[in-house]
Chains A and B, each alone.
Chain A
Amino acid sequence: KAGVTQTPRYLIKTRGQQVTLSCSPISGHRSVSWYQQTPGQGLQFLFEYFSETQRNKGNFPGRFSGRQFSNSRSEMNVSTLELGDSALYLCASSPEVGGAAAGNTIYFGEGSWLTVV
Chain B
Amino acid sequence: EDQVTQSPEALRLQEGESSSLNCSYTVSGLRGLFWYRQDPGKGPEFLFTLYSAGEEKEKERLKATLTKKESFLHITAPKPEDSATYLCAVGYGNNRLAFGKGNQVVVIP
Contacts and interface: CB of A to CB of B under 8 A. Distances in A.
B62 to A, nearest CB: 16
Interface of A: 4, 6, 42-45, 55-56, 58, 90, 98-111
A6 B97 CA distance: 22
Interface stretch (B15-23, B41-49, B74-82): B41-49
B87 A107 contact: no
Interface of B: 31-32, 34, 36, 42-46, 49, 51, 87, 89, 91-92, 95-97, 99-102
Given A42-B101, A111-B42, A103 B96 contact: no
B32 A44 contact: no
Given A105-B46, A108-B45, 11 more contacts: A45-B99, A90-B43, A100-B97, A101-B31, A101-B92, A102-B32, A102-B95, A103-B49, A103-B91, A106-B34, A110-B42
Contacts, number: 61
Contacts of B45: 108
Nearest to B4: A42
A17 to B, nearest CB: 24
A101 B90 CA distance: 7
19 contacts: A4-B43, A42-B99, A43-B44, A43-B87, A43-B89, A43-B99, A44-B99, A90-B43, A100-B89, A101-B31, A101-B95, A102-B31, A104-B32, A105-B32, A105-B49, A106-B34, A106-B46, A108-B45, A109-B43
B32 A100 contact: yes
A98 B96 CA distance: 10
